[in-house]
Amino acid sequence: METSDRPGTRRAGGSIRRRIACLLLVLAGCGRPAQLGTDAEAFKAVDALYTAVSLRDVGHIDRCEKTLKGLQQAGKLPDGAAGTLEGIIGEARAGKWEPAQSRLGDFIRGQKRS
């Protein structure tokens, strides 16, 4: 319940507690990005995607996306990683090249290689 001490102001203690709880849940899941697994083809495809995003080459991004979807269908690219990469591809296609490249770099650095 929100209360008002003065007109035009609100105290939202419950709202702040909810926001903090949500933030803690998000941070708990942010230890590492979704993993590619151990398939060498998947790592190669993600590396090619990084090159395509770095060069801002939409045609190359299209080819990479096709390769990644094929790897996912073949069971060589886990769904979580595929979803992350799909989001990055969408960001690049929207012209947000720097954020896409940054997210993809973070994704790659967060991979655990066996």
SS3 assignment for 29-47: CCCCCCCCCCCHHHHHHHH
DSSP state of 57: -
DSSP state of 76: S
Average of pLDDT values for 90-112? 96
Q: What is the pLDDT of residues 6-52, one digit of tens each?
A: 555 455 455 666 666 544 444 444 567 899 988 999 999 999 999 99
Q: Considering the chain, what percentage of its residues have pLDDT values greater than 70?
A: 72
Which residue would you say has higher pLDDT here, 30 or 91? 91
Distances (CA, A) of 89 to 8, 24, 43, 51: 43, 28, 16, 12
Residues 6+ apart with CB under 8 A from 38: 113, 114
DSSP state of 78: -
Q: Where are the domains of the chain?
A: 1-31, 40-109
pLDDT value, residue 24: 44
pLDDT value, residue 7: 54
Max intra-chain CA distance, the chain: 62
pLDDT value, residue 112: 86
